[in-house]
Structure 1
Amino acid sequence: MKLPREFYNRDTIEVSKELLGKVLVTKENGIVCKGKIVEVEAYMGIEDKAAHSYGGRKTKRVEVMYGDPGFAYVYFIYGLYYCMNVVTREKGVPQAVLIRALEPIEGFDVISNRRFKKNYDELTKREKINLTNGPSKLCAAMNIDKLLNAEDLCGEVIYIEEGEKEDFQIVESKRIGIDYAEEAKDYLWRFYIEGNKYVSK
């Protein structure tokens, strides 16, 4: 079942934790790929020095974060990679959750060819883990790029659905790669499923 708009229109920390175990789905030309979300980071908007919208910054890039909840915020980093975020909270509150890692569960050969130009059963053990164990890796695997920026996550192209009901422990830690963010770099706003081999670090 696809997550409804109301799921995203809540406290960003709560949404972050509850996204763990949910399933990210992309559909393209009839090809369906799915990955279980195993790692995320919360970005708390205007007050968060690590957020693109810190201090009320309003650029063309961050426009979607100020809009309605339940939309994809996809951005380009280092001139090379894409990262995908889920916009949370009500309109005007620019907060989001970065999807940091997935565990592939459907479309293995498609994902594998996008990443390594090989079918899944041709991959080494290490390559299998490396398919989606980082924010830019999962975007490459799921074919998420700037064309999906501002895409409605309640639509048919990219969305998140309920996963299997399972018990797991959630680990809270510091976010990764935000050393510039002063005190915000120490906030425990990264969440991941304990023991999952696809967690990025």
Structure 2
Amino acid sequence: MAPEGRYHHGDLRRAVLAAAVEAIEERGLGLLSLRDVARRAGVSHTAPVHHFGDKAGMLTALATEGFDLLAQALDPGDGETIDLVDAGVIYVQFAVDHRAHFEVMFRPDLHHPDEPALAVARDRAGDLLTNAVVAATDTPPGQQTELASVAAWSLVHGFATLWLAGALPEQIGQDLQGSARSVAKLLFSVVHRSDT
């Protein structure tokens, strides 16, 4: 049971999203319910519905928050472009540190993928990753770069998913950042050769 006084007036959104993260991390996305989230947040069972509309609305907000967090992590600031290998490592670390967000972000069947705020956040994170590929290959954006971007994303996303599932070989599954860096370096060499 959520401790009394956990929710503070004016912070319902934050309380509900934090409770959703807790519930997903503890019980999994498949068992997520608005009633359980409300209980964890210390609010009435109707409060999440009033704020988000429905479960998909709540998950849309969680996915948006996840893409915003990922974009913040990938943005070196000052108009700079992040190194492709560093971007891969950051992506994997993000997935591990924000597992609940990661599980929701790429499940358009569970949220409203056309929600404008979600689209903006998703595009910003995607653009930062694409810019890293463009910089690494030193080529103008085009079909080959788009394919390379999908390849880069697929590799780090797959690595993160395997890590979270505990499915990687034991010798790889001990050092997250070191293993992710090695995989990303391998990717960089493949991407670079594909565009030269």
Q: What TM-score results when the alignment is normalised by the length of structure 1?
A: 0.27
Q: Higher relative contact order by CA 8 Å / sep ≥ 6: 1 or 2? A: 1
Give the number of the structure whose residues are more often helix, by fraction.
2
Structure ID, larger Rg: 2
Give the number of the structure whose residues are more often strand, by fraction.
1
